[in-house]
Structure 1
Amino acid sequence: MKGRVRSLWMKIHTYLACFFIPFLILYVITGLLYFLGIEGKSAEEVEVIIPIEASWPDDEKAAKDIVEPYVIKHKRLPFPPDYYIDKGHEWHSWYGYKQEILLLKTEDTNTVRLLLIQHDFLQQLMLIHKGHAGIFLLILGIMLGLSLLTTMISGVVLALTIPTLKKTSGLMILLGCVSLVFAYFIGY
């Protein structure tokens, strides 16, 4: 490989690694904590029983109309970006990395239960890891994955073009492939 091409690969490798190292550290730490069962908890939870005159809301707008005055009263605006509804229509949920708003059915058809949940810092970090922190962090997470792929490929290209590293690097690639196949077949 010519010196200019090798230099280009080294620059790509270096600059991507330097830019993405903070995100990588965040993802590694939160992934490890999640793997160990440490996910954070609710920092604050408010429960409100709301009387309703109409029937259980079937869509987001109707549910939002019921809960919005209470969300405003408890200073929980804006609504989190992700909206979910239970397939059995037992709950509505607005979910984000800082908070969650849940509207739940009760046994009394004239009332509904509202939960306003603030996530603690650790749980917010976990939710960033899971892609619930808005479009900007989601895009950065995708870019991190692509950067890791590019950084690994550039490292392999460099290793395979340096004569003193070529043989050992080839053996390490083979060992990595064998390990992956082995792990797949002994898994459940």
Structure 2
Amino acid sequence: MMKFDKSLWMKVHLYLSLFFLPAALIYALTGALYIFDVRENADASIQEFVLPSAPQKGEEQEIILSVLKTHNLKIPNDTQVRIQKGSATMGSIKYSASLTTNKQGESIVRVTERGLYGILLLMHKAKGKFYFDIIAVGFALSLVIFYLSGLIITSFCKKKRKQALLAFALGLTLTALAVWASI
């Protein structure tokens, strides 16, 4: 039978846990609040400016910048226009300006400045730059290592294997039932 070095796995478990603790807290907080319908604009400052007419294709950047200057608003660091959900948008997940249509069908420029929660939720949803995505994938992989190292540290629950298997079976059953009941 293969013998595992428990002290090595305890160190792996400990240091990976500590390294990824900030990411775990972000995912836990934003995930739980998202379930309760607290979205990325919950702590945002949003201003909307109705345009006199619909802009022509290709004028989006010029129109957005003109509205920002007219109302003495900050110009985003990144003024390159990209299309997101049918709207021409510039800026970042913290501060952005977009050219869109409101519920009345009017063309508007919407300026959004998000607080910390909104930024973190968008990071959770992989809407930021790829830097946080690297942390997110590392965290996801480390979760597998956490469980594996935890099992190795406890020698696969040698003394309480029956109870451990029962707990796993119960968790598997309840998870499967929750998935089944949700579809």
- Per the normalisation by structure 2, the TM-score is 0.76
Q: CA deviation at 1:103?
A: 0.9
One-letter identity of the residue aligned with 1:99: Y
What SS does the aligned partner of 2:127 have?
coil
Q: CA deviation at 1:41?
A: 3.7
Matched, 1:43 2:48: no
Once the two structures are superposed, the pairs formed by residues 67-106 of structure 1 within 5 Å of their partners are 67-71=64-68, 74-79=73-78, 83-86=82-85, 91-94=87-90, 96-104=92-100
Q: CA deviation at 1:150?
A: 1.5
Unpaired runs of 5+ in structure 2?
Answer: none
- Cα distance in 1 for partners of 2:99, 2:148 equals 47
Q: CA deviation at 1:69?
A: 4.7
Name the structure 2 match of 1:8: 8
Q: CA deviation at 1:120?
A: 2.9
User: Is the Cα–Cα contact under 8 Å of residues 93 and 101 in structure 1 kept in the other structure?
Assistant: yes
Q: CA deviation at 1:179?
A: 1.9
Of stretches 16-25 and 174-183 in structure 1, the one that deviates more from structure 2 is 174-183
What SS does the aligned partner of 1:100 have?
strand
One-letter identity of the residue aligned with 1:84: I
Of stretches 167-176 and 140-149 in structure 1, the one that deviates more from structure 2 is 167-176
Q: CA deviation at 1:98?
A: 0.5
CA RMSD of aligned residues (A): 3.1
- Overall identity of the aligned pairs, in %: 22
User: Is the Cα–Cα contact under 8 Å of residues 160 and 169 in structure 1 kept in the other structure?
Assistant: no
Change (3 A) 1:95 1:186: farther
Q: Deviations over 1:84-141 (max 9, x none)?
A: 2555xxx3234632023211359xxxx9532222123332232222222322122212
Change (3 A) 1:158 1:172: farther
Q: In the comparison of the two structures, how many residue pairs are matched?
A: 175
Of stretches 78-87 and 133-142 in structure 1, the one that deviates more from structure 2 is 78-87
- Cα distance in 2 for partners of 1:134, 1:28 equals 20
User: Is the Cα–Cα contact under 8 Å of residues 61 and 80 in structure 2 kept in the other structure?
Assistant: no
Matched, 1:182 2:177: yes
Once the two structures are superposed, the pairs formed by residues 1-188 of structure 1 within 5 Å of their partners are 2=3, 5-39=5-39, 40-45=42-47, 47=49, 49=51, 56-57=56-57, 62-71=59-68, 74-79=73-78, 83-86=82-85, 91-94=87-90, 96-104=92-100, 113-188=108-183
User: Is the Cα–Cα contact under 8 Å of residues 71 and 77 in structure 1 kept in the other structure?
Assistant: no
User: Is the Cα–Cα contact under 8 Å of residues 46 and 110 in structure 2 kept in the other structure?
Assistant: no
Q: CA deviation at 1:16?
A: 0.7
- Per the normalisation by structure 1, the TM-score is 0.74
One-letter identity of the residue aligned with 2:49: E
User: Is the Cα–Cα contact under 8 Å of residues 160 and 170 in structure 1 kept in the other structure?
Assistant: no
Unpaired runs of 5+ in structure 1?
Answer: none
